[in-house]
Structure 1
């Protein structure tokens, strides 16, 4: 009888689990290929929920769509609760009327400038691609410039605020006249103190994270390399956006029909009472579907980038996007359903609280209003935390093929053990990407303004410019979401690589630049 047989069952189970982990680490050669279907129960629940939504739609439309949703029934649009019409002739003017833009001058402005808007869309795509190339080859220069410029800018504003405060303190305005907000010493004292606090915070962050900013630079370079070797990955947000828009449009159409059917008399619609309650069922299902689509998008990117990172011969990597989609559909739809369910549940609770808060706005006391605001704030923070853990859990699933709960636990431990590194990435990295998005919008808006400013046929120049800026931001956000997810994935892969390998008996998977960062970190 062996010594292991003498161990208690719990201790033996722990040892066996640890042994399995050690075997996996010793034999790890990239994202595992022999996977199992995970979280099947939640996949079944998701499919059953979709079936329930289908039945809800059947109850709504079994007598035909409500009259005001039929194409061409403009006269009956007043019966729609949202006052939305679906005209028979779907031209530009009627589509604008459908969405509430009924001012003829505004419609003419959009019709007049549609070519310029299309040109600016193409320009936006070009600017985003150029920025991605710059972030790959000049990441160090760009990031360190921003890191140095931001504290200098806040210091300059801080000094200016204190000088202005001192000026108005020594030269107070005439008390018999209203000097305006920005000529009062108290105003500039508040600005001075605020900017001083912000400057101190920036300087402390840079002081603490100065060594880890080098990791951010290397991860940006690696993200550029990975996306450069998989350029079709930039199309991923396009497919996701098309699918999401199609689903949202259909779900909103069904929701309007349910809401109208629920408001009709029982003589006109026998299922009115049922549909009033099923409306909330449909709302939650719509939120879940949207979160599910976004989660699938994140998993595919994470899977592609993790395969690239753990491939020693990068040129031999073949069809990573197709392989990632296959793994998603074949093994991990249940895990995605569980992760998206948690986010959807929090969004639904926040929505219900927002509705309660709106209805009690005039009747609730200050204490109740304050409690509701606090609940909303806490739920918002908790939702952000769950989203953050989910993203990293999907990366762990892409690497190891875990179930959602085990992946979330593993991701959480990596986050805790690399808190300072993660802080540097989320603060500096996100700030760089925000500047890239804003820069794209400014470039598209500025060029668009120059193109149309002399056009005398335009009545409201702000309308096409606002349209260009909104579309440009959406395009930039879609492209840089790939970059952002790639950086997050590379960070988790880097941490896993450092934990599993030592660079001697177990060679690292990381590139030479990242390896140099690890060696420098050990020296310092």
Structure 2
């Protein structure tokens, strides 16, 4: 075991006992003011870019075609518009209603699952594990039955390579190799999950204890379950603004496209063989056209920055609310009246700069990844293997870097929500706190994330199976209500993706609660010792189960060694005083 000086020298000093600390600090000052000002200026510039794009662009160019003079089809004569209107293909009226139903089922299932976790966390976790194994096992069985049913069917033995890419996805379902591939993939996933459960069976009990504590916290902060709706609304505004701002310049840029004109056979080409036909802008080229690419890049970058800012705001808000629950000695009497709104107000009033700082770092990495993808697309036809290898390595490195930054930002926001320090200081404190508890991070926090992932997988699987039987018409009870579709995999995939996003929104609250309680638990162990003078803030059940891992943690071993040395030193001082 490392010596305590060695260990804490590398991973920072542990938290000291502070009788005045009762949770998220109320008296705090604004942090990262420079980045806050920079973010406000960038937002004002973003608004200016949007106004410029809307004033210069024309949305009618997406709807109506134009002639060689730039006039819209249908202005001089209505024949073009009439012909175009007959080509419109409207979806069946029942389709949108049938889809919002699938998504509502996913939302109700997720909400029901969260409520059951609140009261029956231990039982629900084991039921969830069993249902995930059963659902995947049924998927394997169904794939095998489809594979066996296609035996001897004409054209069923065609390989996927021979078939190639088909826009009609139902064609793939008529091939045996498709169902064989599905069966192998599901079998591999099933084996991996079972092996993980076998090796992590002891840690699952510890993770269940943390989930129970998170359930109690969410029970006292029920409005936190609906906070993802606020985040979704803000993200929808950001995405809509980005999309409209991006489309309007493209509408104007479409004016510069070459119109197909057979100039080689024209009389002018015969009179002047060296002449060329180049299409110019309608009305001439302006300064706006010269910087169009730069403005589009600015639009993409601000989209990443604003989207990451919204997500970071949600993480810090929830972290502050759940931290106020953990550090309340008498729960819920010592908690604020409205913990979510109080935390949201603190985050926006004092820490907009810190949120902007963390989201800026992440946005820079994401925009670099976008540029690497663009270069990869451009170099697809290149023969330089070294360049392809280097580009692949860069993409992999920046993908890993993005994951690491997201993890560090998430924990930094928790520390900002508790102590009100700037982003860099909070990120450093969070990093050292995690390093001092690296064993617990590896075996506890990640096991909990795995169990929550199984919960999302279960909801998506159940809704996906229901959508498959509903849209495919294989259940007689749904024959009159299900729409008659030729491509029923499209609504199925839509429902599956939508249900995953809904489940992710609900479970993200649980994940943020678990991460916050985990950091608070680690600080609680460093601040307090469980005595009457320095009692723990954690619940008795959580303390009983999590304390079993104390011997595995090098930080706790170092702390024990420090305590024993302090006791020996005090005993020696007392002995010397008695002798004197």
* TM-score category (smaller protein): 0.7 to 0.9
Judged with a 3 Å threshold, the aligned counterparts in structure 2 of structure 1 residues 224 and 22 are, in CA distance, closer, same or farther, namely closer
- Counterpart in 1 of 2:100? 118
Measure how far apart 1:287 and its partner are. Answer: 0.9
Larger radius of gyration: 2
Measure how far apart 1:294 and its partner are. Answer: 0.7
Q: In the aligned structure 1, how far is the partner of 2:129 from the partner of 2:399?
A: 29
- Alignment partner of 2:332: what SS? helix
CA deviations on 1:293-348 (whole Å, 9 max, x unpaired) are 11111111111111111112323331011101110111000000000001000000
The 5-angstrom pairing of residues 282-361 of structure 1 reads 282-316=299-333, 317=335, 318-361=337-380
Q: In the aligned structure 2, how far is the partner of 1:152 from the partner of 1:458?
A: 29
Q: In the aligned structure 2, how far is the partner of 1:433 from the partner of 1:307?
A: 23
Judged with a 3 Å threshold, the aligned counterparts in structure 2 of structure 1 residues 79 and 152 are, in CA distance, closer, same or farther, namely farther
Q: In the aligned structure 2, how far is the partner of 1:458 from the partner of 1:180?
A: 24
Do the aligned residues in 1 keep the contact of 2:16 with 2:527 (CA within 8 Å)?
A: no
- Counterpart in 2 of 1:131? 113
- Alignment partner of 1:372: what SS? helix
Does residue 507 in structure 1 map to residue 507 in structure 2? no
Do the aligned residues in 2 keep the contact of 1:262 with 1:273 (CA within 8 Å)?
A: no
Q: In the aligned structure 1, how far is the partner of 2:295 from the partner of 2:69?
A: 20
Q: In the aligned structure 2, how far is the partner of 1:129 from the partner of 1:424?
A: 28
- Counterpart in 2 of 1:258? 249
- Counterpart in 1 of 2:91? 108
- Alignment partner of 1:406: what SS? helix
Measure how far apart 1:417 and its partner are. Answer: 1.8
Judged with a 3 Å threshold, the aligned counterparts in structure 2 of structure 1 residues 479 and 370 are, in CA distance, closer, same or farther, namely same
Judged with a 3 Å threshold, the aligned counterparts in structure 2 of structure 1 residues 281 and 115 are, in CA distance, closer, same or farther, namely closer
Q: In the aligned structure 2, how far is the partner of 1:149 from the partner of 1:240?
A: 30
Measure how far apart 1:426 and its partner are. Answer: 4.6
Judged with a 3 Å threshold, the aligned counterparts in structure 2 of structure 1 residues 436 and 458 are, in CA distance, closer, same or farther, namely same
The 5-angstrom pairing of residues 41-52 of structure 1 reads 41-52=34-45
Judged with a 3 Å threshold, the aligned counterparts in structure 2 of structure 1 residues 138 and 239 are, in CA distance, closer, same or farther, namely same
The 5-angstrom pairing of residues 135-284 of structure 1 reads 135-143=117-125, 202=195, 207=199, 212-262=203-253, 264=256, 265=281, 267=284, 269-284=286-301
Q: How many positions carry a matched residue from both structures?
A: 456
| Unmatched 5+ stretches in structure 2 | 1-8, 71-83, 137-157, 162-179, 257-280, 474-478, 553-580
Q: In the aligned structure 1, how far is the partner of 2:188 from the partner of 2:468?
A: 33
Judged with a 3 Å threshold, the aligned counterparts in structure 2 of structure 1 residues 141 and 79 are, in CA distance, closer, same or farther, namely farther
- Counterpart in 1 of 2:506? 479
Do the aligned residues in 1 keep the contact of 2:94 with 2:483 (CA within 8 Å)?
A: no
- Counterpart in 2 of 1:464? 491
- Counterpart in 2 of 1:75? 65
Measure how far apart 1:70 and its partner are. Answer: 4.0
Measure how far apart 1:79 and its partner are. Answer: 12
CA deviations on 1:79-100 (whole Å, 9 max, x unpaired) are 99xxxxxxxxxxxxxxxx9xxx
Q: In the aligned structure 2, how far is the partner of 1:31 from the partner of 1:131?
A: 30
Q: In the aligned structure 2, how far is the partner of 1:511 from the partner of 1:501?
A: 14
Do the aligned residues in 2 keep the contact of 1:237 with 1:479 (CA within 8 Å)?
A: yes
Do the aligned residues in 1 keep the contact of 2:203 with 2:447 (CA within 8 Å)?
A: no
Does residue 396 in structure 1 map to residue 390 in structure 2? no
Measure how far apart 1:135 and its partner are. Answer: 2.9
Q: In the aligned structure 1, how far is the partner of 2:409 from the partner of 2:322?
A: 17
- Counterpart in 2 of 1:157? none
Does residue 381 in structure 1 map to residue 400 in structure 2? yes
Deviates more, 1:143-152 or 1:115-124: 143-152
- Counterpart in 2 of 1:174? none
Measure how far apart 1:179 and its partner are. Answer: 12
Does residue 443 in structure 1 map to residue 435 in structure 2? no
- Counterpart in 2 of 1:89? none
Q: In the aligned structure 2, how far is the partner of 1:515 from the partner of 1:233?
A: 25
CA deviations on 1:179-201 (whole Å, 9 max, x unpaired) are 999xxxxx9xxx9xx979x8799
Measure how far apart 1:370 and its partner are. Answer: 0.9
Judged with a 3 Å threshold, the aligned counterparts in structure 2 of structure 1 residues 200 and 236 are, in CA distance, closer, same or farther, namely closer
Do the aligned residues in 2 keep the contact of 1:218 with 1:514 (CA within 8 Å)?
A: yes
Do the aligned residues in 2 keep the contact of 1:437 with 1:476 (CA within 8 Å)?
A: yes
Judged with a 3 Å threshold, the aligned counterparts in structure 2 of structure 1 residues 510 and 79 are, in CA distance, closer, same or farther, namely farther
TM-score scaled by structure 2?
0.69
Judged with a 3 Å threshold, the aligned counterparts in structure 2 of structure 1 residues 275 and 113 are, in CA distance, closer, same or farther, namely closer
Q: In the aligned structure 2, how far is the partner of 1:200 from the partner of 1:125?
A: 25
Measure how far apart 1:383 and its partner are. Answer: 0.5
CA deviations on 1:25-70 (whole Å, 9 max, x unpaired) are 3421111110110000100111111122233234334xx3423x14
Q: In the aligned structure 1, how far is the partner of 2:246 from the partner of 2:530?
A: 57
Do the aligned residues in 2 keep the contact of 1:448 with 1:468 (CA within 8 Å)?
A: yes
Higher helix fraction: Structure 1 or Structure 2?
A: 1
- Counterpart in 2 of 1:39? 32
Measure how far apart 1:396 and its partner are. Answer: 0.6
Q: How much is the aligned-residue C-alpha RMSD, in angstroms? A: 4.1
Measure how far apart 1:459 and its partner are. Answer: 3.1
- Counterpart in 1 of 2:262? none
Do the aligned residues in 2 keep the contact of 1:147 with 1:206 (CA within 8 Å)?
A: no
Do the aligned residues in 1 keep the contact of 2:372 with 2:395 (CA within 8 Å)?
A: yes
Measure how far apart 1:153 and its partner are. Answer: 13
Q: In the aligned structure 1, how far is the partner of 2:396 from the partner of 2:506?
A: 29
CA deviations on 1:90-116 (whole Å, 9 max, x unpaired) are xxxxxxx9xxxx884xx434x223333
Judged with a 3 Å threshold, the aligned counterparts in structure 2 of structure 1 residues 127 and 58 are, in CA distance, closer, same or farther, namely closer
Judged with a 3 Å threshold, the aligned counterparts in structure 2 of structure 1 residues 57 and 180 are, in CA distance, closer, same or farther, namely closer
